[in-house]
Structure 1
Amino acid sequence: MSKLELKHINTTVNAGTAEEKRILKDINLTLNDGDFVTLLGTNGAGKSTLLNIINGSLMPTSGQILLDGQDITNYSEVKRTKDIAQVFQDPKMGTAPRMTVAENLLLATKRGQRRGLHLRGLDQHLDFFKQETAQLPNGLSDRLHTFVGNLSGGQRQTLSFLMATIKRPKLLLLDEHTAALDPNTSHELSELTNDVVQKQHLTCIMITHQLKDALKYGNRTIILNSGRIVLDLKNPEKSQLTEDDLLQYFAN
C-alpha cells in the first residue's frame, strides 16, 4: 500500500520581506494506492513547489504530510528517499556523470540503505542491469560501461527514470521529466512511464504542460491555479474531459 495525504499545506517564501509570497494555499490532497495523477497548472501555480514539499527539499509553512499513515512532515529530504523517488526536468539531474551507467544503477538499488565500507559487487548485478535496460529505448543495454556524462539527453533521462523505479518506490514524482527531450524521445519515455507505472502499480504524480498527455495518461487529473486545487477528477469523469475543458481552468 502507498497512500499520500496532504493536510492543510501552506507554503510562504521570503516571509517578512517585501518579496513575501504565498505559493501553496491550504492544499488538501489524498492519493490512494496506485493513483497515477497528471498535474497541470500555469507557470507559478505551485506545481514544482508541491513536489518539493512532498520530497522534503522544501518544508511547508504549515500543514501535515502523511505517507502510509506515518507523519513525514519533518523528515529530511535524505530520509524520504527511502520511499520517494523523483525524476527531474533536467536530464543532468539525478545521475552521476563521472560514473558508468551500471555504477549509477548500482547506486539506485541501494536507495535508502545504510552505507558502509564493503565491496560494491557490481559484476554480480550486470546481468540484471542488462536485462532491465534491454527493455528500454535508446540502446542503454549496450552502454552499461559508458560514463553517463557521454550519454545523450534522452539516454540520460531514460536512465534517470530506470534509477527511480528499479527499486519500487512508495511514491514516484515526475517533474516534467520529458519536457527537455525531442518529440520522439519524449513520446518514447512517456509510453515507458505509463507502462512501468501500470505494471508496478505505482502511486505517481506527473507534472506536464501537455494537455493531451494529461488526458491520455493516468487515472486522475489535477489542476493547480494560484496555489489552489481548482480541478481534481478521477476516472470515469476524467475520461470525459477534453482539451477545451482543461483550458478554461487556465483563464486569469
Structure 2
Amino acid sequence: MTLELKNITTVVNQGTPEEKTILHDLNLKLHDGDFVTLLGTNGAGKSTLLNVINGSLKPSTGQILLDETDITNLSEVKRAKAIAQVFQDPKMGTAPRMTVAENLLLATKRGQHRGLKLRGLERHMEEFTEKTAQLPNGLSERLNTFVGNLSGGQRQTLSFLMATIRQPKLLLLDEHTAALDPNTSKNLLELTNDVVTKKQITCIMITHQLRDALKYGNRTIVLNSGKIVLDAQGKEKRQLTEEKILEFFTN
C-alpha cells in the first residue's frame, strides 16, 4: 500500500472573515507498513490532515493517491473500504445501543452494503470471543453487553478492534488514547503497537506525548503551521530526543 499526498492545501471558512489556511502545499508519501507517529502543536493541522485522508474534508487544492489511484474526490464512505479510523472520543465509532458482538459484526462488513438486519451473528461468536480474549479490559466477557454500558477504556479498545478486525490498507489514530487514564492508555498503546507491527498495517498515529512518538513507529513527523517540518525515519528517528523534537515546535 502506498499513500501519496501531492501539494495539499486546505482552506476553511473561505470567503468569510474567519478564512484560514490549515495545510500549506503539503506533500507526503507513505509506504507499505509505515507506522507514523504524528506530532504538532494545537492548530498545527494534525486532525485536518487525517480528515483530508479519510475523506471527511476535501482539500482546496492538491491530489490524494492510494495505491496510485486518485481518491481525491472519493467519498468518505467509499474510502472506508480501505481506510479505518479510531477517534479521541471513546463515544465515536461505536453504536451504544448495540452489543459488543453486534458492533464487531458491523466492523466485519466495513465498506460493504449493509441491510437493516444483522445476520450470522452466532457463527461469528467464536471468532469474536477468541479475538477479545487477547485484549485488556475483559471485553471477552461482555460480548452481549450494550456498548453504552462499557467503560471508556473498554469502548476505546473495542473501537480499535473494530478498526483492525478486517485489516485496513490504512489505519488512522487521532489521539486514540488521550481520553483514557494513564494505565489504560499504556495498555492500549502496547496493543496498538503489537497489532500494527505484527500485521504490518500502514498507520498514522497522532500523539501529544513526545516519549510515545519516540518509542513507537518507524517514522516521526512534526507538523508546524500546516507544514511538515520534520520527517524522521531510520537512523534519524533512532537518534531523536525529546529536546530535538521540541526545536521543531517553534516558528
Partners of 2:5 and 2:113 lie apart in 1 by 28
For residues 79-228 of structure 1, what are the structure 2 equivalents within 5 Å? 79-116=78-115, 120-228=119-227
1:14 aligns with 2:13: yes
Shift of 1:119: 6.0
Partners of 1:59 and 1:250 lie apart in 2 by 26
Aligned amino acid, residue 75 of structure 1: L
Q: Equivalent residue for 2:23?
A: 24
What SS class does the counterpart of residue 28 from structure 1 fall into? strand
Shift of 1:251: 1.7
Shift of 1:118: 6.5
How many residues align structurally?
Answer: 251
Aligned amino acid, residue 246 of structure 1: I
Give the root-mean-square deviation of aligned CA atoms: 0.9
Shift of 1:141: 0.3
Q: Equivalent residue for 1:238?
A: 237
What SS class does the counterpart of residue 208 from structure 2 fall into? coil
For residues 63-78 of structure 1, what are the structure 2 equivalents within 5 Å? 63-78=62-77
Q: Cα deviations across residues 197-240 of structure 1 (Å, max 9, x unaligned)?
A: 01110000000000000000000000000000000011121011
1:5 aligns with 2:17: no
Q: 1:147 to 1:20 in 2, by over 3 A?
A: same
TM-score normalized by the length of structure 2: 0.99
Q: Which residues of structure 1 form unaligned runs of 5+?
A: none
What SS class does the counterpart of residue 167 from structure 1 fall into? coil
Q: Which residues of structure 2 form unaligned runs of 5+?
A: none
TM-score normalized by the length of structure 1: 0.98
What SS class does the counterpart of residue 235 from structure 2 fall into? coil
Partners of 2:115 and 2:109 lie apart in 1 by 11
Q: Cα deviations across residues 115-170 of structure 1 (Å, max 9, x unaligned)?
A: 23666110000000000000000000000000000000000000000000000000
The share of aligned pairs that are identical, in percent, is 78
Q: 1:159 to 1:119 in 2, by over 3 A?
A: closer
What SS class does the counterpart of residue 220 from structure 2 fall into? strand
Shift of 1:106: 0.1
